Amino acid sequence: MQYMKPALRNGRYTLISSSLSNTLNPNPFIFFLTSPFHTLQTFRSQSPISCFSSSMAFSSAPDPSLEKQFGEFRTHLEQSGTLRDRIRTVVSEIESTTRLMYASILLVHHSRPTPEKAKSQIDVLKEKYKQLADILGGYPGQYYRYHGDWKSETQTVVSMLTFVHWLETGKLLEHKEAEEMLGLNGPEFNLDVEDYLVGVCFMSNELPRYVVNQVTAGDYDCPRNVLKFLTELHAAFRMLNLRNDLLRRKFDGMKYDLRKVEEVYYDVKIRGLTPNGESVADQGIKGQS
């Protein structure tokens, strides 16, 4: 152990260690402690930071090139924000139109014919996409920069268009046909292929429900037609080299849609139901009578 003996020298307290017998550390050391009033004043006066005054640090004028660059950044961000506000206004109107269209399409699940109200909304959607094309017309080459603002709504629109087209023709709405229906066939503003494919996957989600409701209504031939369509569509998607992204996940969901339709079809076939709503056994009884 060491004993610290205080001593006063020149207005400062100095602790001088004296070595005691049987100490663990025989080497003496000295700690210097200054008085609290002297220490702060002396430290401040001798501190190297004092040579840099605040007036000297900020007395120089800002770099003109730096100020000009960030001024251009500010103008660019303001213009981009204004453009996005205009785009989102039109996209909000597209979303409202798709809600009305989907509400009409839902009646198909209750064995009602394809409503004309849903088909009439296609012209409204075409006009909205024309407005988007006009807005981006003044900003060439910026399509994919703002494409995310209407991407989700476009996928929903494609799903409804393909579903209505299948109800009327039993075939898939092709990409070029969807572009023409929406007016998205311009050189700078078109229908993105991935949006089209995701929309087709969304459309397949409606088919299992449609099949169940049609069988309940007595249309026992519907599962066979839907199963044939979904099988061909699933085989076509397998030709694509899909990454692990949204399109891949939606394609995986199509597998479950196909499985649900297969279950309904096998159930109808096992029961021996015919397209006119009678089983094979009932038809045999009528034939004998």
pLDDT at 110: 79
pLDDT tens for 1-60 read 444 545 545 544 444 444 444 444 445 444 444 444 444 444 444 545 444 444 455 556
Q: Which of 43, 27, 31 is nearest to 7 (CA)?
A: 31
Amino acid identity, position 233: L
pLDDT at 163: 95
Mean of pLDDT values over 107-111 = 82
**Domains recognised in the chain with CATH numbers:** 2-43 (no CATH), 81-282 (1.20.58.2140)
Q: What are the two backbone dihedrals, phi and then psi, of residue 78, each rounded to the nearest 5 degrees?
A: -65, -40
| 46-48-51-56 Cα dihedral, nearest 10 degrees | -140
Tokens found for residue 127: 């006009």
pLDDT at 193: 95
pLDDT at 42: 47
pLDDT tens for 153-175 read 999 999 999 999 999 999 999 99
3-class secondary structure per residue, 166-180: HHHHCCCCCHHHHHH
- Residue 93 scores a pLDDT above 50: yes
CA distance linking residue 275 with residue 221, whole number of Å: 5
Using a pLDDT cut of 90, give the percent of the chain over it.
51
Band (pLDDT 50/70/90 cuts) for residue 147 is: very high
pLDDT tens for 206-251 read 999 999 999 998 899 999 999 999 999 999 999 999 887 889 999 9
CA distance linking residue 77 with residue 57, whole number of Å: 31
pLDDT at 166: 95
- Residue 283 scores a pLDDT above 50: no
pLDDT at 288: 41
pLDDT at 58: 52
pLDDT at 200: 97
Mean of pLDDT values over 139-150 = 89
pLDDT at 274: 65
Task: Confirm if 97 and 126 have CB atoms less than 8 A apart.
Answer: no
pLDDT at 272: 86
Token pair 């066939």 in the structure block, residue: 185
pTM of the full structure: 0.72
pLDDT at 142: 87
pLDDT at 18: 44
pLDDT, the chain, mean: 80
CA distance linking residue 74 with residue 78, whole number of Å: 6
